[in-house]
Structures are given as C-alpha cells and as structure tokens.
Amino acid sequence: MSKNLTQAEILRYSRHLMLPEMGLAGQQKLKDSAVLIVGAGGLGSSVAMYLAAAGVGHIGIVDGDRVELSNLQRQVIHGESTLGISKVASALGRMLDINPHIQVTSYEEPFTAANAMRITRPYHLIVDCSDNFPTRYLTNDLCVLTGKPLVYGAVYRFDGQVSVFDARRGPCYRCLFPEPPPPHLTPTCAEGGVLGVLPGVIGMLQATETLKILLKTGEPLIGRLLLYNALDPSFEFVKLRKHPQCKVCGEQPSITGLIDYQAFCDLKRQEDALIEETYEISAADLAARLEQSSSLQLIDVREPHELEISALPGAHNIPLGQLAQRLSELSRQGEIVLICRAGVRSARALEVLWAAGFTQVSHLRGGINAWAREVDSRIAVY
C-alpha cells in the first residue's frame, strides 16, 4: 500500500490504479500536483470537476464573477442553489463534494497583471478557461516568463479549440496570434451564443491534456491546435510552429514582464464609448419619440431567428453581417435607430453607417433587452 494514499483513496481511484500507465505511482503524482484553472465558467466547470475527480491534489480556481441564470445552460458546476454567489465559491463546494481528499483554493478576483504572479506561484501548470483575449494573452505571457505549461481552450457557437503551449518545447499562444484583436472585432458567447455541451467537450479535452502532462504519459498537444466542430462532427489538427520573432518567446523578446491587456482593451473601449454615447438613445426616450413621430427608421441588426424571441413592431431586419451590402434599403433623409440584443452589435452597426456617410443615426442603449426591462415587460429578455 502506498504510504501517502489512504485506503479510501485507493478504493476511490481503483480504476486508475489498474491502468499500467498510471498505477500507484501515477496516482501519487496527481496527488502531489498543483494546477490553477483560470475561469470558472463553461470550460472551467468541466476541467474543475474532472481534475477533482481524478485526484489532482491541489487545484486553484480564479474568477471574479458571480453565478447568473444564463450561465446554467453550460456552466454545469453551478446550479440554481448557487445563483448570486461567487463562481469560485460555487465551484469549490462542488469540487469538494466530488472529492473531499483534495485541496481547493479559490481566488474571487479578476486575473490581472497585478495579481497573476502571486496567484500562479504555487502551481505547476495553468489551464486557460477564460473567455476574453486580455486574460488569454496575460496567461500566455506569464507561462512563458515562468516556464510553466499552459493548457488552452476556447469555444464559440459550435466550434472549439484546444492546444498545449509550452515555450520550452514549442510555440506559445502569441506565436499563433501575435497581438490581441481590436475589442470591436471580438465577439463573445453572450453575443453569438454557444452550444451548451460544447464547453464540456473542450473542457474534458483540456482536463485530459492536463493529466497527460502531470503523468508524463502520451503525446500532449504541443505544436498542434485541435479544432472541433460539433455540427459535422469533426476533429482537425493544425500544426503550429514557434515564431522566431515572437515578442515573448522569440529569439529577441521585447516583452519581459506582464502587461495589463485589460487596461489596454478598456482604453480602446472607453474611446469608442465616448463616441457611441453621443449617438445612443435610451429605451424611454425612444418610446417617447415613437409616440410623437412615425418617421424613425428602426433597423434591427440581429439574426432573423432572434426576432422569434423578441422584436419591436415596425423594425426592419438587416443582420449586422449583411448591413454593408444592404445600405440601399436605408433612407438617408430620415433618422435611423439601430437595435440589437444588448447594444453591442448596434454600436458596431453605427460605425458601418458612419463609414458609409449616414449622419442621422443612433442606436438603442442596452438593446431590446433594455426596452423589455424599461418599456414593455411583455417582451422576453434573453
């Protein structure tokens, strides 16, 4: 009997112990390992539960958000009983319920350049389960600078990606994507949607890669990007190469410390917001305007299937992706009000119309969800 595994643990992990690639020694490796999960959302849910069940001895999880009802379609570590509490507290309770023999450390705070080194110091490996580019670049740069492997995953609509970035043995995330994209070109799951089971598939693949690295068995996805499409369904692999001019892991790196990408992206968002706020209209003001005049052109830039959920009478539907090709359907004489779900796509549509020379244009602040909350409660919020 192992001197460190108790009888209860031996029984719990018995199906592991029968694997020749695992055995008592492999299970002990997992117990002695420390893994940090960045993000307690859809990907983090799957990763956290499977690493806990597998017996990884110390698991950290960092996230500054709280559990919301719209999370539960895919973030299966949470439930209605944990609505409103922090995601890391919700995750911690579920993980210890799965396996009380492990240690879980929760960090109820955003993952930033100011705290990243402190949070990651005790961990051997980082799993990126974030949902935004600032965190992905920050996590990548930190792993390169500290020599820690990074298990990456991302999902959007029906597509997912998985890879392992370890600059000591292959490329890093920045070799693939050198710079963060502009904020207005980065759609989120909140805007584009995501199939609820997809984060489970990608998260389990991330958990698998994590266990392989900790056990030093199999071939981790270093130098390969796995692409999964749930509709086909299909798995494809793209070979990745280390970029000699990479700013963080290249031959002459220019990034030698952590950068607060959130501040960088927020600055651009603030600049855009100053412009957009000048040309936005509240739901209450739009309702008053519609009572006074019928000359407003209401243009809904959502996808057609979204109009089945909620719609404003009289609004003309032109999806954002088709707007530039369908400008002839708009009158340059009257005032145009753009509408979407929450005000994000309509703000982008605003830029499209400005670029095309339209001057009498504004967009509904908060989108049709704001209209439902402030003007007409009969309309569904989604």
pLDDT grade for 327, boundaries at 50, 70 and 90: very high
Whole-structure pTM value? 0.81
* Strand order from edge to edge, sheet including 280-281: 280-281, 361-364, 336-339, 297-300, 316-317
- Percentage of the residues of the chain whose pLDDT score is greater than 70: 93
Encoded tokens for 267: 């600055």
pLDDT tens-digit map of 105-156? 999 999 999 999 999 999 999 999 999 999 999 999 999 999 999 999 999 9
Minimal CA–CA distance to 148: which of 162, 135, 133, 165? 165
Tokens read off for 54: 């597998």
Per-residue pLDDT of 214-255, as tens digits, reads 999 999 999 999 999 999 999 999 999 999 999 999 999 999
Q: Which of 276, 111, 249 is nearest to 183 (CA)?
A: 276
Q: Which of 96, 224, 92 is nearest to 151 (CA)?
A: 224
pLDDT at 170 over 70: yes
Strand-pair partners of 237: 226
Listing DSSP states for 36-74 in one string gives EEE--SHHHHHHHHHHHHHT-SEEEEE---B--GGGTTT
Mean pLDDT of 325-344: 94
**Secondary structure element (H or E) that encloses residue 33, with its range:** none
From the list 296, 311, 330, 279, the residue with the least C-alpha distance to 378 is: 311
Residue 3: the pLDDT is 59
pLDDT band (50, 70, 90) for residue 192: confident
Reading the block at residue 132, the tokens are 């935004």
Catalytic residues: 189, 340
Dihedral of alpha carbons 360, 363, 368, 370, sign: negative
Give the CA distances from residue 150 to residues 133, 196, 197, in Å, rounded to whole numbers and listed in that order: 15, 24, 23
pLDDT at res. 260? 83
- Residue 197 corresponds to which tokens in the numbers above? 């089971």
For the stretch 195-210, pLDDT in tens is 999 999 999 999 999 9
- Letter for the amino acid at 163? S
pLDDT at 270 over 70: no
